[in-house]
Structure 1
Amino acid sequence: MEIVDYELFEVPPRWLFLKVETSDGVVGWGEPVVEGRAKTVRTAVEELMDTYLLGTDPSRIADHWETMYRGGFYRGGPVLMSAIAGIDQALWDIKGKQYGAPVHELLGGKVRDKVRVYQWIGGDRPAEVGEAAAEKVEAGFTALKMNGTAEMERIDSPAAVQRAVERLAEVREAVGDEVDIGVDFHGRVSKTMAKRLGRALEPYEPFFIEEPVLPEHNEALPGIAETTTVPIATGERLFSRWDFKEVFEQGVVDLIQPDLSHAGGISEVKKIADMAEAYDVAMAPHCPLGPIALASCIQVDATSHAALIQEQSLDIHYNETSDVLDYLVDPSVFEYEEGYVDIPDSPGLGVEIDEAHVREMAEQEVNWHNPVWRHDDGSVAEW
């Protein structure tokens, strides 16, 4: 069996799907994308497929990964690692289908029967969070996540901090103490404000504070950790085990959030998960993406003792034109019950992509880019 062809489909709301075909007729799907840079990643995937993968045996996943990563001399970063991630997902999908087994069986088997999931509320600039939180808990979710702030100045006012506190207090009052509430700083906050916010939010016991500073400022994490007992999460903008190594060695991050469509795919995130376990760090894979990315996350979650909870993007504020379940032949594979999703047992990634619908949606113009926010003085603010 060898790889004979591939196709890429840019589909709404902001996703890129990869279909890889083999000489035996087995097809694998992957989701290689950087949100807002789909066309750039498409080119990277084409270059990798045309240079290294076409005509080769798809079963040699580890060798293909090393070739794509090391073969080009320059390595790492969001574009290359996302391209590798989507290809890696598709190769694992093919291998699972070839052996008639879900990917988690090929990785050693399940350590759990289901995975806890959390639900987004509140939008980019969080608002009406209390009502939204109550609705999601009523629907069965036991964990939520919200943006903590809109844009913030490097040193902002007491009123800005108080608004963030009031939003979290509103959600806590709406859902009580049995529900976990993650608060995403989204890299919008300087180290100075992260310290103030962490301390101010602490009475309402957030599940974690996410990306309290941008990854290029991770050296500030120990200082932030000294100011609060709230667990610190980060990692959606780290792309390999080498990127995570420094975070682990700092010893202050409690929850890592590698993205299966950015951090080298199933092969790499499985290694990152094993590293996390050695450092007594939990994992909650980042996934505000589509069904192939989510299926890949769940396959790794199934085999990793470090996996704590899984992000998923059903009804997230980005998905205004299409949603996760729209691209599946059988949407019931992602049915959430009492805050959990079962581990799929079908071969490969465990989901069947509705190719006809993918092709139909790929005919639409897709041109998603994140907004550019600006402060009152006109300077660019972190989104």
Structure 2
Amino acid sequence: MRVTDYELFEVPPRSLLLKVETSDGIVGWGEPVVEGRAQTAAAAVEKLLETYIVGEDPFPIEDHWSKMYRSGFYRGGPILMSALSGIDHALWDIKGKALGVPVYELLGGKARERIRLYAHFSGSTPDEMAEAARERVESGFTAIKNGPRVNWEHLDNRVSLDFVREMVGAARTAVGDEVDIMLDFHGRPSKQMAKRLVSELEEFDPLFYEELVVPEKNHLLPEIAQHTTIPIATGERMFSRWEYRSLLEDGVIDVVQPDVAHAGGITETRKIATMAETYDAAVAPHSPLSAVALAACVQLCACTPNAIIQEQIVHQEGTPNYLSDMTVFDYDEGGYIDLPEEPGLGIDMDEDFVREMATEDAWDAPVMRRDDGSVTEW
């Protein structure tokens, strides 16, 4: 069997899907997108496939990964690693289908019987936050996440802190103490504000604080962590096990959040998870993308002992469904899904719908500004 061809599809809301074909007629799918830079990622995917994969046996995935990562001299970063990730998904999908087993069976077999999902919620006022949180819980989720989207000043005031306290407090009151709430800061706060926030919000007992600072400020996390007992999570903008090493060695990170569509695919994310396990850190894979990336995450969580919960947006209103059968992601009253049993990634793509939805109208991340007009984190 040889890889013979491929196609790329940019689809809403912000995904890039990859179809890889083989001489045996087996097709693999992956998601190699960089949100807001899909066309740039597509060019990198084409270069990697044409240089290293087309015409080759798809089975030696570790060797293909090493070629794509090491042989270009320049390595790492969001574009190259995301391109590599989507190709890696597709190769695992092909191998699993060829051997008739889910990918997790090729990675040592299942470590659990089911996987817990969480949903996002948001609102502009405390009442909206409370209602959105209730709706998610009433739909069956026992874990929900919100990003307190405040355009923080570098040194902000009591009014801003009280506003966030009121927003988070409204959600906590609405759902009670049995529901897990996670808080994602998108790296917006400065070190000074992050220290105040983790202290101010601790009474609401979040499951974890996510991305309190942007990755280039990760060296500040030990100082920030001294101001709270709540677990610290980060990693969605980190792209290899080497980037996680110092944080894990410092003992400051409690939950790693590699994105299987950015951090080297299933191959590298599995290694990040295993490395994290040696430091007693949990894994909660980042995945705000389509069902393809989610399927890759599910395969990873199935065989990863320290995986604790899985992000998803496929159950959110307005998210296009690119699968022929979405029941693979049906969840029970606790927000858990069963392990997939179909081979490969365990999904059946609706290729006609993918082609119908394909677009060249690229999604761009918004530009966020503070009150004085200066640019801040999105």
What secondary structure does 2:109 align onto?
A: coil
How far 1:247 sits from its partner (Å)? Answer: 1.4
Letter aligned with residue 117 of structure 2: V
Give 1:371's aligned residue. 366
Letter aligned with residue 267 of structure 1: T
Give 2:40's aligned residue. 40
Give 1:228's aligned residue. 228
What secondary structure does 2:117 align onto?
A: strand
Give 1:330's aligned residue. 325
CA distance in 2 between partners of 1:187 and 1:375 (Å)? 14
Give 1:340's aligned residue. 336
Unaligned stretches of 5+ residues in structure 1: none
Structure 2 length-normalised TM: 0.98
Letter aligned with residue 349 of structure 2: I
Greater mean alpha carbon deviation, residues 112-121 or residues 122-131: 122-131
CA distance in 2 between partners of 1:230 and 1:164 (Å)? 17
What secondary structure does 2:201 align onto?
A: helix
How far 1:124 sits from its partner (Å)? Answer: 8.8
CA distance in 1 between partners of 2:2 and 2:124 (Å)? 44
Q: Cα deviations across residues 167-191 of structure 1 (Å, max 9, x unaligned)?
A: 1110110000000000001111111
CA distance in 2 between partners of 1:300 and 1:227 (Å)? 33
CA distance in 1 between partners of 2:228 and 2:238 (Å)? 23
How far 1:11 sits from its partner (Å)? Answer: 0.6
What secondary structure does 1:17 align onto?
A: strand
CA distance in 2 between partners of 1:348 and 1:124 (Å)? 41
Q: Cα deviations across residues 331-365 of structure 1 (Å, max 9, x unaligned)?
A: 11111112111111100000001111111111x34
Give 2:352's aligned residue. 356
Give 1:201's aligned residue. 201
Q: Cα deviations across residues 49-103 of structure 1 (Å, max 9, x unaligned)?
A: 0111111110010000000000000000000000000000000000000000000
Task: Give yes or no for the alignment of 1:3 onto 2:6.
Answer: no
Contact 1:328 1:351 in 2 (8 A): yes
Letter aligned with residue 86 of structure 1: G
CA distance in 2 between partners of 1:12 and 1:87 (Å)? 20
Aligned residues: 377
CA distance in 1 between partners of 2:124 and 2:215 (Å)? 20
How far 1:376 sits from its partner (Å)? Answer: 1.6
Give 2:314's aligned residue. 314
Contact 1:119 1:311 in 2 (8 A): yes
Q: Residues 170-209 of structure 1: matches in 2 within 5 Å?
A: 170-209=170-209
CA distance in 2 between partners of 1:92 and 1:123 (Å)? 38
Give the direction of change, closer, same or farther, for the CA distance of 1:346–1:125 in structure 2 (3 Å limit).
farther
Contact 1:12 1:366 in 2 (8 A): no
Task: Give yes or no for the alignment of 1:103 onto 2:103.
Answer: yes
How far 1:128 sits from its partner (Å)? Answer: 1.3
What secondary structure does 1:28 align onto?
A: strand
Q: Cα deviations across residues 282-330 of structure 1 (Å, max 9, x unaligned)?
A: 01000000011000000010010110000001355xx74x43xx11111
Percent of aligned positions with the same letter in both sequences? 58
Q: Cα deviations across residues 353-380 of structure 1 (Å, max 9, x unaligned)?
A: 1111111111x34321111011121111
Greater mean alpha carbon deviation, residues 254-263 or residues 368-377: 368-377
Q: Cα deviations across residues 131-157 of structure 1 (Å, max 9, x unaligned)?
A: 011111111100000012321111111
Give the direction of change, closer, same or farther, for the CA distance of 1:263–1:52 in structure 2 (3 Å limit).
same
CA distance in 1 between partners of 2:313 and 2:71 (Å)? 34
Contact 1:95 1:348 in 2 (8 A): yes
What secondary structure does 2:33 align onto?
A: coil
Give 2:377's aligned residue. 382
CA distance in 2 between partners of 1:126 and 1:256 (Å)? 29
How far 1:127 sits from its partner (Å)? Answer: 7.5
Greater mean alpha carbon deviation, residues 147-156 or residues 170-179: 147-156
CA distance in 2 between partners of 1:5 and 1:374 (Å)? 44
Q: Residues 295-314 of structure 1: matches in 2 within 5 Å?
A: 295-314=295-314
Contact 2:111 2:302 in 1 (8 A): yes
RMSD: 1.3
Structure 1 length-normalised TM: 0.96
Task: Give yes or no for the alignment of 1:214 onto 2:210.
Answer: no
CA distance in 1 between partners of 2:87 and 2:124 (Å)? 30
Give the direction of change, closer, same or farther, for the CA distance of 1:279–1:366 in structure 2 (3 Å limit).
same
Q: Cα deviations across residues 5-34 of structure 1 (Å, max 9, x unaligned)?
A: 000000111100000001111100000001
Contact 1:13 1:366 in 2 (8 A): no
Letter aligned with residue 352 of structure 1: D
Give 1:119's aligned residue. 119
How far 1:246 sits from its partner (Å)? Answer: 1.4
Q: Residues 10-29 of structure 1: matches in 2 within 5 Å?
A: 10-29=10-29
Give 2:270's aligned residue. 270
Letter aligned with residue 14 of structure 2: R
CA distance in 2 between partners of 1:315 and 1:114 (Å)? 17
Contact 2:39 2:362 in 1 (8 A): no
